Structure 1
Amino acid sequence: MTTVSVAVPRKGRPLEAVLDRVARRVDESSRIPTDSSTDVTALADSISSTLRYEKAITKGRQEVAEDVYERLAAYSSLDHPTRPEYTLLRDDRDGRPRRIVFDSVTIPLGDTDLQLIGREEPFRALRTHDFNLGFDSADLVLEEVVGLREEPIERISDINARIDPRDTDVRVVGGLGDTVYHTLMGTPETCQRTDVDTFDRKFVEAYEGPLCISPRYERLVQAVLGTAATDGVTFQYPDGGREEEASIADVGLGVYLTMTGSTAREHGLELGERLFPSETVLMENVDGESDAISFVEELLVGESQESALAV
Structure 2
Amino acid sequence: MTTTRVAVPRKGRPLEAVLERLASRTGTAELADDIISTLRYEKAITKGNQRADDDVYHRLAEYSTLSDPRRPEYTLLRDDRDGMPRRVVFDSVTVPTDHGDVQLIGREEPFRALRTHEFALGFDSADLVLEEVVQLRDDPLTSIGEINDRIDPLDTDVRVVTGLGDTVYHTLLALPGVIDAQNRPLNREFVAEYEGELCISPRYERLVEAVLGTAALDGITFTYPDNGNEEEADIAATGIGVYLTVTGSTARDHDLELGERLFPSETVLLENASEGDDTTRRVADLFTAPEETALQSV
Give yes or no for contact 1:104–1:116 (8 Å, CA) kept in 2. Answer: yes
Structure-2 separation of matches of 1:294 and 1:59? 39
* Structure 1 position 81, deviation (Å): 2.4
Q: Tell me if the contact between 1:155 and 1:308 (Cα under 8 Å) persists in the aligned partners.
A: no
Q: Does 1:199 align with 2:186?
A: yes
Q: Percent identity?
A: 67
Structure 2 counterparts to residues 1-311 of structure 1, below 5 A = 1-27=1-27, 40-194=28-182, 197-305=184-292
Count, aligned residues: 296
Question: How far apart, CA to CA, are the structure 2 residues paired with 1:268 and 1:120?
Answer: 36
Q: Which amino acid aligns with 1:233?
A: I
Q: Contact 1:175–1:308 at 8 Å: present in 2 too?
A: no
Superposed displacement of residue 79, structure 1:
1.6
In structure 1, distance between residues paired with 2:53 and 2:203: 38
Distance 2:52 2:170 in 1: 37
Q: CA 1:308–1:183 in 2, change beyond 3 Å: closer, same or farther? A: farther
Once structures 1 and 2 are overlaid, which stretch shifts more, 172-181 or 55-64? 55-64
Quote the Cα distance in structure 2 between the aligned partners of 1:120 and 1:85. Answer: 15
| CA deviation map 1:23-66 (0-9, x unaligned) | 01224xxxxxxxxxxxx111101000111111111112222221
Q: How much has 1:198 moved relative to structure 2?
A: 1.6
**1:308 & 1:16 partners in 2: Cα distance?**
22
Unpaired runs of at least 5, structure 2: none
Quote the offset at 1:135 in angstroms. Answer: 0.5
Superposed CA RMSD in Å reads 1.5
1:111: Cα distance to partner?
4.9
Offset from partner CA, 1:226-269 (integer Å, 9 cap, x none): 00111111000011111000000000110000011111011001
TM-score (norm 2): 0.96
Q: Normalized against structure 1, the TM-score is what?
A: 0.92
Gaps of 5+ in 1: 28-39
In 1, Cα distance between the equivalents of 2:117 and 2:43? Answer: 31
- The answer to whether the 8 A contact 2:160-2:295 is kept is no
Q: Which residue of 2 aligns with 1:30?
A: none
List, as ranges, runs of 4+ consecutive aligned residues in structure 1 with deviation greater than 2 Å. Answer: 302-309
